[in-house]
Amino acid sequence: MKISVALLWFTGLAEAFLAIPLIGGGFVISTGYSALGIMFVLHAITLFFCFREFSPKAGSILGIITSTIAWIPGVGWVFHLITAVVLLLSATFTRNRV
């Protein structure tokens, strides 16, 4: 499996967790919003590998945007949800050619 596909799955599942109402928001707040910074770094790393391995980049770019604006309560939930769907669909439909 390509590294980029594994990272798309990982970041997609992490975004899906953050999109769970109250639980995801509670987690972000309990970490002092550092979870958003960690997600920003993970999306940047994923984007690097997506460029390197010619994998879909839209989910990682959207994830970077989400990490920067997710501190806004309602907007953050919507963006986490959309980003999770895009990342998981990208991971699902990416061919694993080595």
**In contact, 87 and 63? CB cutoff 8 Å:** yes
Is 55 inside a domain boundary? yes
Does a structural domain hold residue 56?
yes
H and E: helices and strands count for the chain:
5, 0
pLDDT digits (tens, 9 = 90+) for 54-93: 999 999 999 999 999 999 989 999 999 999 999 999 999 9
User: Is 98 part of any domain?
Assistant: no
Domains contained in the chain, number: 1
* pTM of the full structure: 0.93
Position 18: which residue type? L
In which domain, by residue range, is 64 found?
A: 3-93
Task: Check residue 60 and give its pLDDT.
Answer: 97
Cβ(61)–Cβ(87) below 8 Å: no
Q: What is the DSSP letter of 54?
A: T
* pLDDT tens, residue by residue, 18-66: 999 999 999 999 999 999 999 999 999 999 999 999 999 999 999 999 9
Main-chain dihedrals φ then ψ at residue 57, nearest 5 degrees: -110, -15
Instruction: Specify the pLDDT at position 1.
Output: 76
